[in-house]
Amino acid sequence: MNKDPQSATQAIVKWRQLLGDEYVITDHEPLKQASTATFTTSATVIAILKPARDQVAAAVAVAAEYSLPLYTISSGKNWGYGSRVPSTNDSVLLDLGRLNDISGYDPEHHLVTVGAGVTQRQLADFLLAQGGMDWMDCTGSHPDCSIVGNTVERGFGHTPYGEHANFIGAMEVLLADGRIIKTGFGRFDGAKASGMYKWGLGPALDQLFLQSNLGIVLSITLWLMPKPEQFVAFYLSAPNETALEQIVAALVPLKRSGVITSLPHIANAYRVLGGMQQYPWPMFSNHPVQFPLHGDVLSQLKKQWQVGTWNVSGALYGTKEQVANARKQVRRALRTVKGARLNFISDSLLRFIEIFQKPIAFITRMDIPGMLKVLRPVHNMMKGQPSAQFLTSSYWRMKTGPDGRFDMDKDNVGLIWSAFVAPADAKNARQLMDIVDTVLPQFGFEPAVTLTLLNERCIDAVVSISFDRTASAPDGKSWDELALQCRDKLYQAMFSHGFYPYRTDVGKMAEMVHCGDPQYLQVLADLKHALDPQGIFAPGRYIASASEKFTGAVSN
Amino acid sequence: MNKDPQSATQAIVKWRQLLGDEYVITDHEPLKQASTATFTTSATVIAILKPARDQVAAAVAVAAEYSLPLYTISSGKNWGYGSRVPSTNDSVLLDLGRLNDISGYDPEHHLVTVGAGVTQRQLADFLLAQGGMDWMDCTGSHPDCSIVGNTVERGFGHTPYGEHANFIGAMEVLLADGRIIKTGFGRFDGAKASGMYKWGLGPALDQLFLQSNLGIVLSITLWLMPKPEQFVAFYLSAPNETALEQIVAALVPLKRSGVITSLPHIANAYRVLGGMQQYPWPMFSNHPVQFPLHGDVLSQLKKQWQVGTWNVSGALYGTKEQVANARKQVRRALRTVKGARLNFISDSLLRFIEIFQKPIAFITRMDIPGMLKVLRPVHNMMKGQPSAQFLTSSYWRMKTGPDGRFDMDKDNVGLIWSAFVAPADAKNARQLMDIVDTVLPQFGFEPAVTLTLLNERCIDAVVSISFDRTASAPDGKSWDELALQCRDKLYQAMFSHGFYPYRTDVGKMAEMVHCGDPQYLQVLADLKHALDPQGIFAPGRYIASASEKFTGAVSN
Tens of pLDDT along A338-393? 999 999 999 999 999 999 999 988 888 878 888 888 899 999 999 999 999 889 99
Task: Tell me, yes or no, whether B306 and B437 share the same domain.
Answer: yes
Question: Which of B189, B495, B498 is the closest to A554 by Cβ?
Answer: B189
Nearest to A223 by CA among A265, A180, A184, A174: A184
Q: Report the CATH number at residue B91.
A: 3.30.43.10
Give B382's contacts (C-beta < 8 A, 6+ positions apart).
B158, B159, B231, B233, B262, B313, B314, B315
- Identify which of B110, B180, B321 has the shortest CB distance to residue A519: B180
Q: B208 to chain A: which residues are within 8 Å by CB?
A: 203-205, 208
Same domain? A465 vs A491: yes
Do A414 and A365 reside in the same domain of the chain?
yes
Are B358 and B459 in the same domain?
Answer: yes
Q: Which residue in B has a C-alpha nearest to residue A181's C-alpha?
A: B520
Subunit contact A517:B187, Cβ cutoff 8 A = yes
Query: Which of residues B226, B250, B266 is at a domain's end?
Result: B226
Residue B280: CATH number of its domain: 3.40.462.10
Residues of A with Cβ-Cβ distance to B452 under 8 angstroms: none
In chain A, the residue whose alpha carbon lies closest to the alpha carbon of B502 is: A201
Cβ separation of A542 and B181 shorter than 8 Å? Answer: no
- Interface confidence (ipTM) of the complex: 0.96
Give the pLDDT confidence of B141-191 residue by residue, as tens digits: 999 999 999 999 999 999 999 999 999 999 999 999 999 999 999 999 999
Chain B nearest-CA distance from A77, in A, is 19
User: For B427-447, what is each residue's pLDDT tens digit?
Assistant: 999 999 999 999 999 999 999
Instruction: For residue A71, give the 3-state DSSP assignment.
Output: strand
CA B524 to chain A, closest CA, distance in angstroms equals 8
Across the interface, whether the CB atoms of B256 and A110 are under 8 A apart is answered yes
**A499 and B192 in contact by Cβ < 8 A?**
yes
**Which residue, among B196, B458, B537, would best test binding to A if mutated, counting the most A CBs under 10 Å from its CB?**
B196
CB B399: neighbour CB atoms within 10 A?
11
Q: Which of B317, B502, B530 lies closest to A526 in CB terms?
A: B530
Q: Which of A426-430, A460-464, B281-285 has the lowest mean pLDDT?
A: B281-285
pLDDT of B326 > 80? The answer is yes
**B425 contacts in A (CB within 8 Å)?**
108-109
CA distance A435 to B164: 36
**Is B553 a residue whose pLDDT tops 70?**
no
pTM: 0.97
B422/B486 same-domain check: yes
Residues B439 and B332 reside in one and the same domain: yes
CATH code (residue B535):
1.10.45
- Please state, in angstroms and as integers, the Cα–Cα distance from residue A233 to each residue in A302, A322, B152, B216, B259, following that order: 21, 14, 39, 46, 19
Q: Is the Cα dihedral A483, A488, A489, A491 positive or negative?
A: positive
Of the pLDDT bands very low, low, confident and very high (cuts 50, 70, 90), residue B4 is confident
Three-state SS at A93 = strand
| Domain limit, last residue, from B506, B523, B546 | B506
pLDDT average, residue stretch B367-380? 88
φ, ψ at A482 (rounded to 5°)? -60, -40
Mind listing the pLDDT tens digit for each residue in A195-209?
A: 999 999 999 999 999
Given a cut of 80, whether residue A2 has pLDDT beyond it is no
Whether A76 and A169 map to the same domain: the answer is no
Q: CA–CA separation, A83 vs A272, rounded Å?
A: 23
CATH number of the CATH domain containing A205 = 3.30.465.10
Q: In a mutagenesis test of the A interface, which of B181, B218, B521 is the best target, namely the one with the most A β-carbons within 10 Å?
A: B181
Burial of A486 (0-12, 13-18, 19+ CB in 10 A): buried
* B234 and B332 belong to one structural domain: yes
The number of domains in chain A is 4
Optimal mutation site among B201, B224, B495, interface A, most CBs of chain A within 10 A: B201
Q: Kindly report the backbone phi and psi dihedral angles of residue A170, in degrees, each rounded to the nearest multiple of 5, phi listed first.
A: -170, 165
Question: For the packed helices B368-381 and B357-364, what is the interaxial angle rounded to 10 degrees?
Answer: 120
Q: What is the pLDDT of residue B404?
A: 85
Cβ atoms < 10 Å from Cβ of A257: 19
Which pLDDT tens digit goes with each residue over B188-213?
999 999 999 999 999 999 999 999 99
Q: What percent of chain A has pLDDT over 70?
A: 99
> Taking residues B96-118, what's their average pLDDT?
98
Contacts of A196 in chain B (CB under 8 A): 421, 423-424, 457-458
Tell me: pLDDT of A549 over 90.
Answer: no
Packed helices A320-334 and B320-334: angle between N→C axes, nearest 10 degrees: 180
Is the same domain home to A90 and A123?
no
Let me know: does A215 contact A174? Beta carbons within 8 Å. Answer: yes
Of B202, B261, B456, the CB nearest to A211: B202
Residues of B with Cβ-Cβ distance to A166 under 8 angstroms: 166
Q: Nearest-CA neighbor of B138 among B230, B73, B222?
A: B222
Q: What is the three-state SS of A38-53?
A: CCCCCCCEEEEECCCH
Q: Which residues pair with A423 in a beta bridge?
A: A458
Q: How far is CA B181 from CA A203, A422, B61, in A?
A: 17, 22, 16
Mean pLDDT along residues A100-118 = 98
What's the pLDDT score for residue B2?
57
Give the pLDDT band of residue A104 (cuts 50, 70, 90). very high
Q: Are residues B311 and B177 in the same domain?
A: no
Question: CA–CA separation, B323 vs B493, rounded Å?
Answer: 40
Residue A551 has pLDDT above 80, yes or no: no
Contacts of A188 in chain B (CB under 8 A): 495, 500, 515-517, 554, 556
Residues B205 and B310 in one domain: no
Last residue of a domain, one of B226, B250, B282: B226
* Pair (B314, B270) in one structural domain: yes
At B3, is the pLDDT very low, low, confident or very high (cuts 50, 70, 90)?
A: low
Domain range for A519 is 513-556
pLDDT in tens, B462-501: 999 999 999 999 888 999 999 999 999 999 999 999 999 9
Residue of A173, A209, A500, A551 best to disrupt the B interface, most CBs of B under 10 A: A500
Q: How far apart are CA A462 and CA A474, in angstroms?
A: 26
**DSSP class per residue in B408-467:** TTTTTEEEEEEEEEEESSHHHHHHHHHHHHHHHHHTT---EEEEEE-SSSEEEEEEEEEE
3-state helix, strand, coil in chain B (%, to 5): 40, 20, 40
Contact B521 A187 (CB under 8 A): yes
Report CB contact under 8 Å: B498, A192.
yes
**Distance between CA atoms of residues A335 and A340, nearest Å:** 8
Q: State the smallest CA–CA distance between residue B532 and chain A in angstroms.
A: 11
The average confidence (pLDDT) of chain B is 95
